[in-house]
Chain A
Amino acid sequence: AQKITQTQPGMFVQEKEAVTLDCTYDTSDPSYGLFWYKQPSSGEMIFLIYQGSYDQQNATEGRYSLNFQKARKSANLVISASQLGDSAMYFCAMREETSYDKVIFGPGTSLSVIP
């Protein structure tokens, strides 16, 4: 069964607009963490943001925020004020305490920012 689902294979956003990338996850582990990574065309994996399952508030890092809805098992990434350099693949990922904390990645969403 898919642990991480990203239903948007590709997204377009106008420069300076906000965009939401969807992520839903499946776990029965009460202790888990959720991540978003960015992979530009150069290929490296860049850590963006982390949300723990027990965190009371949604995580924010600069222009990135994570909309964490625990009951719905969703962890959407919101990028505000999109920039051309935001064009990349974005991966949602999860670690489960009962799985030795290894991180499992979703299939990714390709974001293109239009000038």
Chain B
Amino acid sequence: NAGVMQNPRHLVRRRGQEARLRCSPMKGHSHVYWYRQLPEEGLKFMVYLQKENIIDESGMPKERFSAEFPKEGPSILRIQQVVRGDSAAYFCASSPDGRYGYTFGSGTRLTVV
């Protein structure tokens, strides 16, 4: 039973490019959460999705960031026109029912140069 799969593990983008981060939840998990971790900081909640629905996006920056979790395929976190401040580790987590803890993926380390 594969865990939460995130890819790529490392992503380098130039300022102004787009970054697409993918997350495949554990089998049977329909709740997906995205978090951002800036260097030397804790995890900050970004967005909570269920299949085809955004449940809570209170932590998403208002511009340039979007997330989706389609009926088929992985969840995608998309960052348009990246800036240096977007450099961080982005973690995805999944849960079967939104309770009792998540299973985290290994994260995607985004570096904007």
Contact = CB atoms under 8 A, between A and B. Distances in A.
Q: Do A and B come from one complex?
A: yes
Interface of A: 33, 35, 37, 43-47, 50, 91, 95, 99-108
Given A104-B45, A105-B42, A107-B42, A99 B56 contact: yes
Contact of B107 (A44, A47, A50, A105): A44
Contact of A102 (B48, B107, B109): B48
A47 B102 contact: yes
B43 A91 contact: yes
Contacts of B99: 33, 95, 101
Contacts of A104: 45
Interface of B: 33, 35, 41-45, 48, 55-56, 89, 91, 93, 98-104, 106-107, 109
A103 B42 contact: no
Contacts of A50: 100-101
A47 B103 contact: yes
Contacts of B93: 45, 103
A100 B48 contact: yes
19 contacts: A33-B101, A37-B104, A43-B109, A44-B106, A44-B107, A45-B104, A47-B103, A47-B104, A91-B42, A99-B56, A100-B56, A101-B99, A102-B33, A102-B45, A103-B33, A103-B101, A105-B35, A107-B42, A108-B41
